[in-house]
Structure formats: structure tokens, C-alpha cells
Amino acid sequence: MTTTTRLSYREAVEVLRSRQKTSKGAPAYSRFVNRPLGRRLAAAAHVAGLSPDQVTVLSALCTFSGIALVAIVPPSLVLALAVAALLVLGYALDSADGQVARLSGTGSVAGEWLDHVVDAAKIGALHIAVLVSWYRFFEVSDLVLLVPVVFLAVQALEFFAMILTDQLRRSLRGQREHFLEGQGSSSALYSLAVVPTDYGLMCLVFLLLAWREGFLVGYTLLGAAMAGFTLLALPKWYLELRRAGRDG
């Protein structure tokens, strides 16, 4: 049902508190930082009369601006701060578009499609930008240049599998919308344990961009953690869906 009455910023924030997605499976940065920040941006977008798709476009503009800077500009402290800020803002707006949809009742399958396509594009572009930056500005061996290539392959696989698993879970339940808060949760300890898989942590790693050795190590460790998580998650998701299909 579409909301016809425009809420104030404070009213919108309060309404959104009760319409958050479940914390089940959510990494710590997304759960404790990005969603609350996205909630406030969503309330501001609602007051400004922006649609969910318009918020998605704003998210893409921020994110791809930051990604372009990584590939084009030599590493420096100013660049590190600018890139991290743009990526963090883009990620928060990525959370805000869905919250605007829930607040206004204007969510659509086309909007969800747009959101996922932008997410898929930014994953690929971000790692390609790192590869270009390392090739242009870092003195690294050809073997080291394989790190962002492998990271891209792993994260693309993990993202596709995660989205498909979520869609199939909802299909098996006959459920169109995501679970809301209170319909499932994960402990704070679990959220901290899976934080290496959080795109928000990836955004913060770019704060190390001015310290080239630190960025090389931080980015590589994040890629290794993502690979480990993916190796563990894929069989778990497969077995879960296999059991659910039998039960259904």
C-alpha cells in the first residue's frame, strides 16, 4: 500500500525503525552502522520526495565516482579519504533505497532488479579499479596482480550464490518480501564473526590506500577471508535448499 501522506524526517525515522530487515546473517558493519545510517538517509530522501530508484541512482553515482578515482588518481591521503567517503555513502544509500520502498509502499520487482544489477556492476568495477591502480601506481609483481582478479571471481560467485539462495528461500516460503526485524535474528557475536564478508569493511579498507603496503595486505587478507567464507557457505546453502525442496 502506497503512503500518500508525507511524513516529517523524525516521523519517517521512527517508522523505519519498525520496518528494518531481519538481522539474521547480517555482518556487523551492515547491521550496526550501514542500516542505521541508511535509515536516516531514507528518511531524508522521503522528505525530499525521492523514489527508491532515484536513491539507487544516487548510490551508484557515489560508488562509481569513488571507484573511478581509485583507477585514475595516484594514491594519497586525500584520495584515500575521498574514496572511502564515497564508497561508504554509496553503500548507505544502497541500504536507503529499500527502506524508502518499505516506507512509501512503492517497492517493485523492477526496483529490486535495478538494485542487484548495480551491486553486481560495482563489485566487478571495484576490483578492476584496484587492479588498474596496482598496475599503474604500485610496484608489484605479476603474481600480486592476480589478487584482485581472484578476489573478483570469488566475490562475484559469492554474491550470485547469496542472491539466488535468498530468492529461492523466499520462493519456497511463498514469500515476496524480505523478513523484517523480529522474524529471525543472529547474535552480535555471529555478526562480528562474518564481518570480513561485509562490503562495508571493503569500503573502509580504502582508508589504507595512502599506505601502499598496508592496503596490499589489508585487501589481500579481506580477499582470503571472502574465499574462506564462500568455501564454507556454498555447501551449506546447497544442503539447506536441498532439504527445503524435499520438505516442500
Cβ atoms within 10 Å, residue 67:
24
CB–CB of 81/101 below 8 Å?
A: no
pTM, whole model, 2 decimals?
0.88
Model confidence at 234: pLDDT above 50: yes
Percent of the chain surpassing pLDDT 90: 61
Q: What is the pLDDT of residue 23?
A: 64
Cα–Cα distance, 33 to 107 (Å, whole number): 23
Model confidence at 57: pLDDT above 80: yes
Cα–Cα distance, 100 to 59 (Å, whole number): 13
Question: Residue 97 corresponds to which cell in the numbers above?
Answer: 533505497
Q: Which position has the grid cell 530522501?
A: 45
Question: Residue 189 corresponds to which cell in the numbers above?
Answer: 557475536
Each residue of 90-144: pLDDT tens digit? 999 999 998 998 887 777 889 889 999 999 999 999 999 999 999 999 989 999 9
Percent of the chain surpassing pLDDT 70: 88
The rounded mean pLDDT for the chain is 87
Q: Find the mean pLDDT for residues 140-162.
A: 95
Q: What is the DSSP letter of 24?
A: T
List % helix, strand, coil for the chain (3-state, nearest 5). 75, 0, 20
Each residue of 174-213: pLDDT tens digit? 755 554 544 456 666 777 777 777 899 999 999 999 999 9
Q: Which parts of the chain are beta strand (E)?
A: none
Cα–Cα distance, 111 to 117 (Å, whole number): 10
